[in-house]
Amino acid sequence: MERLRHILILGLAMATLLSGSASSLVSQGHSVPADKGWSEPWIQSLYARGEKEVFRGRDLDTIGMPVCGIGTGQLYLCGDGSLGCWEIFNSHFSIGTGAGAYDQLRTPSRPVDHGIGILLKTDNRWDLRTLGTKDFENVAFCGEYPIGTVTYEQPGYPLKVALEAFSPFIPLNAQDSALPATLLHVTIRNDSQNLQETRLLTWLENLVCLHSAQQEEGFRRSEIRRKGHIGTIAQSAFSPPPDDEPEPARPNLLLADFEGEDYGDWTSTGEAFGKGPAQGTLPGQQPVSGFLGKGLINTFLQGDEPQGTLISPVFVIQRKRIQFLIGGGAHQDQTCIQLLVKGHVVRTAHGENAERLKWSSWNVESLVGQEAQIRIVDHHSGGWGHINVDHIEQTDLPRHGSVVSLEHLLDHGTLTYSLIPCASEAETQQILEGLNLPHDVEDETVFPLTERRTSALLSQRVLLQPGKQQTFTCLLTWHFPNHVHGHEYASRFQDAKEVRDHVTRNYSRLVTDTRKWRDLYYDSTLPYWLLDRIHSTMSTLSTGTAQWWKNGRFWAFEGVACCAGTCTHVWNYAHGHARLFPELARSVREMQDFDSEQGGFHQNGLVGFRSDRAYAADGQNGTILKAYREHLVSRDTSFLERNWPRIKKALLFSIQQDGNRDGLIENSQHNTYDINFEGPNTMVGSLYLAALRAGEEMAKVMGDKPFARTCREIFAAGSKNTMERLWGGEYFIQEVDLEKYPKHQVGQGCLSDQLFGQGWAHQLGLGYLYPRESVIQALDSIWRYNWAPDVGPHNALHPPLRVFAVPGEAGLFTCTWPKSRHLDQGVMYKNEVWTGIEYQVAGHMIWEGMTDQGLSIVKGVHERYHPSVNNPYNEIECGDHYARGLASWGIYLALMGFEYDGPRGEIGFAPKVTPHAFRAAFTTAQGWGRFTQQTVDNLQINEMSLEHGELWLKILRLTSEIGTPPEEVTLRVGRFKKRANWDLKQDRLWIDFPKGLRLKKGQTLTVQIRNSPWKDRAISP
Ligand SMILES: [Ca+2]
Ligand SMILES: [Ca+2]
Ligand SMILES: [Ca+2]
């Protein structure tokens, strides 16, 4: 498929010629063109169903699609079909602030010896090909989250192979979508004219204690068990038996303390190490501490840019351990210290993105007597591209490590890997020997932790007739329970074998339901690219960003291992998890926001934004909206009843910030840009007004009429006062004294998030907060002033703090000042582009019918996350897999015009694109299914088919695309007509089931609407 970036740039070039005069109205220092250079092909590409994107060649390098369960760690299906990242051991790698992460082509790490090979019998010999780009010329990746498929072909090779990988993902079934398990299905097809004899071989090294193996003492055990046609490798590790008579510790042998003027007999290459050891912190560096004496290795020489190595003279290993102080970057193999024996790296360690040096050590008992060298490496120039090292010595008694038994380590646990159908041990042994492969195939292998050993499973032999195929199943399960808060999965399973048993017992259901959701979601009239983009961010739940604790609480960082505490203001943007797995979102409300023991709720109604005591104005108001959303996506009112007193208190806290109840919050407002707004503005203000409306609705449900009235009155005042004081003519501005508050303000600027609360209000059916025409005009200004088809020119004038879009790419700036001087000290992150804000704004535009603009913004994101640039499944902000991106689901709701109130049994649809032929999946509190709308001449047919669970229905709202009023509306479920009343309210067709309708899995409700003169009437069966 042609990359649309080119179409856009061509269109833009033409438009620039035509639109010279428009830009003269805006201030100097604003370089976003009002005319976006739309071309016909560009607009068409936004709506065309298109083809499913399939990636090949270099595009495969960046792809890493999460394929583990929600909150179970992070494991990627890479573009070539290998498994990468392997962060299932309760520790994750943080990229820090995100600076330098976006614009570097990153490839997922593959730290583990794992693979799948195809055996083909030719000339009475077995020929082995490994699934990957080395043995297959034509490799193609197709990701339909949650399922990834990789195909392999090789000219002249008679077999075609397809690998399908996923972890069960079933909306409304959080537990089965949070299994520490990955399923791999390998289908081998005989594409030749001859009979082919084939087998599958797969191998996996023992991963238990993957990270601590170099420091700790103990043993690993790999067992192979065969039960029926299932073969399983079971991996574990255990501490050595206690030493009866420990040998006395010998004195330490110092290898280097870096106290000299130069490096003495150590040899350096490159620039990073300079002429000699550093004396502490270097210019421009955060304080370095923890080293001994005055000198240390510190490669932040002229910053992170320089690279180099420093290598020690040869020495003989004479103690059980080598210990050292280490700090600096966490780049595996790039900012590290290594132990070399005969030129090979046998041990390695890197920093943890912290300047402070900490003790670490390697267990080298098995290497005593060997000649070795230490090598310190700086092969990284981006963020944290340096290493700090000091005081390297040999020792018998380390200052660190072996203080706890293995069984308590973060990466201790169990893991199983199964193959179905599996061959016997004897057969496996014989064939592996013939292939000269060293893998363990015995029923039990025990070896020291410091060794790496790999076990293999061989499939039964398969004879494939021409055109026939066979599927093999590989199943990976794990159980690493030592997370500080425990894992939800560990409350259900004792070890990896129990996870495996659960998966195998429920195999058909787990696979069928996952595929059913995938098929339903993708069987839509919406464009493939858009479906891909919207659903890709759901994978964030299955990364190091998200955790599901043993006590049932869903908890999250903002990005992987970055910014803790399910931050209220970042998660303000996230919708996908709450619509697909509402129980997870409800747990955040009940166990965090409204919990004063373990969460952030305080008696004055303050909801600490990271479960703490800190106030964030946007997060506080968003908490009310989330509470209302969680109520709407419930089956009944019990959630609201349980939490109402605290929801009300939290809203009263906001009303207290307002003070005079004029509907404007004027005081200091900390917010998601990590700054404080001083004075009224509509970013916080629209969230506040939406929260008041939500409060009014919840109060009505709870029968609290006085409070409902209070909310309504403050809301009405706020709406009016906003228009009087904050309407700038084209968009909403901030009232602020810039003399008094020169830093971090919006002032006359155009903030992309200025209508954040209005987008929320549409999602919750709360209506308009401000006059509709002003809302649309403000959105149009955001489009005109903040969305650049090429961020280059504006960023050339105003460089971003961190880069999330590069010149040539489209993006929506956080804030611009088209009508006044650019506030260089204004809103932090103003010149940056965040996908979560882009989705928030795009979703809102689509609600308002601005679909060309909304879809263009989303398409801009999609192009930035094309695999030729970045991993499509990893939207970066402050950290990988940043949670704000879960805002994408708001776009999906807007495209359907989806309205839902579970406890009331109300559901509504108003498709915003192709309303004459529309089809999409929808989810509710208890069921999910397909909605379709089709018109032919004067007939409109709507269908709701339930594919999972059930749906309680009292009111159904539709739009009539064949003109109103309709003459006749008929309803049926299957063959049976249903009785209902219908009415036309505000151009919407309301269908009321007086007794309610319970739609069950497999049932379809069909609505036929015929056009003619309108009369209010009951439908006769
Ligand atoms: Ca020193
Ligand atoms: Ca460097
Ligand atoms: Ca006020």
Rounded distance from Cα 97 to ligand 1 centre (Å):
30
Rounded distance from Cα 75 to ligand 2 centre (Å):
28
| Host H or E run for residue 10 | helix 4-18
**Dist. CA 978–CA 1006, nearest whole Å:** 10
State the maximum Cα–Cα separation within the chain, in Å, rounded to a whole number. 100
When pLDDT is averaged across residues 872-890 and rounded to a whole number, the result is 98
**Dist. CA 554–CA 548, nearest whole Å:** 4
| DSSP-derived 3-state class of residue 546 | strand
When pLDDT is averaged across residues 225-242 and rounded to a whole number, the result is 93
Write down the mean pLDDT value for the chain. Answer: 94
CB contact set of 865 (below 8 Å; sequence gap of 6+):
533, 536, 835, 871, 872, 874, 875
CA atoms within 13 A on the CB side of 684: 32
Beta strands 906-908 and 939-959 are: parallel
When pLDDT is averaged across residues 106-121 and rounded to a whole number, the result is 96
Verify cis geometry, omega within 30 degrees of 0, for the bond prior to 240: no
Which ligand gives the minimal distance to the CA of 285? 2
Rounded distance from Cα 383 to ligand 2 centre (Å):
9
Rounded distance from Cα 291 to ligand 1 centre (Å):
6
Rounded distance from Cα 785 to ligand 3 centre (Å):
29
What are the tens digits of pLDDT across the range 842-851? 999 999 999 9
Rounded distance from Cα 392 to ligand 1 centre (Å):
9
For residue 860, what pLDDT is reported? 97
pLDDT bucket at 652, cuts 50 / 70 / 90 = very high
Q: Contact at 8 Å (CB) between 247 and 255?
A: no
Token pair in block for residue 284: 């421009």
Which ligand gives the minimal distance to the CA of 293? 1
Rounded distance from Cα 328 to ligand 1 centre (Å):
15
**Dist. CA 903–CA 738, nearest whole Å:** 47
For residue 1016, what pLDDT is reported? 45
Rounded distance from Cα 419 to ligand 2 centre (Å):
44
CB contact set of 180 (below 8 Å; sequence gap of 6+):
68, 69, 72, 73, 88, 477, 478, 479, 480, 487, 489, 496, 499
Rounded distance from Cα 329 to ligand 2 centre (Å):
9
Which ligand gives the minimal distance to the CA of 296? 1
Closest of 147, 129, 228, 230 to residue 185, by C-alpha: 147
| Host H or E run for residue 950 | strand 939-959
pLDDT bucket at 15, cuts 50 / 70 / 90 = very low
Percentage of the chain lying above the pLDDT 90 cut: 87
Rounded distance from Cα 364 to ligand 3 centre (Å):
67
pLDDT bucket at 215, cuts 50 / 70 / 90 = confident
H helices present in 824-944, as ranges: 835-847, 851-864, 888-896
For residue 24, what pLDDT is reported? 45
For residue 638, what pLDDT is reported? 98
What are the tens digits of pLDDT across the range 783-794? 999 999 999 999
* N-terminal to C-terminal alpha carbon distance within the chain: 50
Residue 7 confidence (pLDDT) above 70: no
For residue 402, what pLDDT is reported? 52
Which ligand gives the minimal distance to the CA of 722? 3
Residue 686 confidence (pLDDT) above 60: yes
What are the tens digits of pLDDT across the range 171-200? 999 999 999 999 999 999 999 999 999 999
Rounded distance from Cα 481 to ligand 2 centre (Å):
36
Token pair in block for residue 1008: 């036929």
pTM: predicted TM-score of the whole model, two decimal places? 0.90
What are the tens digits of pLDDT across the range 711-734? 999 999 999 999 999 999 999 999
Rounded distance from Cα 658 to ligand 3 centre (Å):
4
Rounded distance from Cα 253 to ligand 2 centre (Å):
29
For residue 403, what pLDDT is reported? 52
Percentage of the chain lying above the pLDDT 70 cut: 96
**Backbone φ, ψ for residue 112 (5° rounding):** -125, 140
Q: Which amino acid is at 438?
A: P
Residue 959 confidence (pLDDT) above 90: yes
Token pair in block for residue 18: 């035509």
For residue 791, what pLDDT is reported? 98
For residue 1012, what pLDDT is reported? 65
Rounded distance from Cα 696 to ligand 3 centre (Å):
18
Residue 1020 confidence (pLDDT) above 80: no
Residue 245 confidence (pLDDT) above 80: no
Rounded distance from Cα 665 to ligand 3 centre (Å):
5
**Dist. CA 401–CA 361, nearest whole Å:** 7
Q: How many residues does the chain have?
A: 1021
What are the tens digits of pLDDT across the range 273-319? 999 999 999 998 989 999 999 999 999 998 999 999 999 999 999 99
CB contact set of 125 (below 8 Å; sequence gap of 6+):
434
**Dist. CA 30–CA 328, nearest whole Å:** 39
When pLDDT is averaged across residues 76-98 and rounded to a whole number, the result is 94
Which ligand gives the minimal distance to the CA of 282? 2
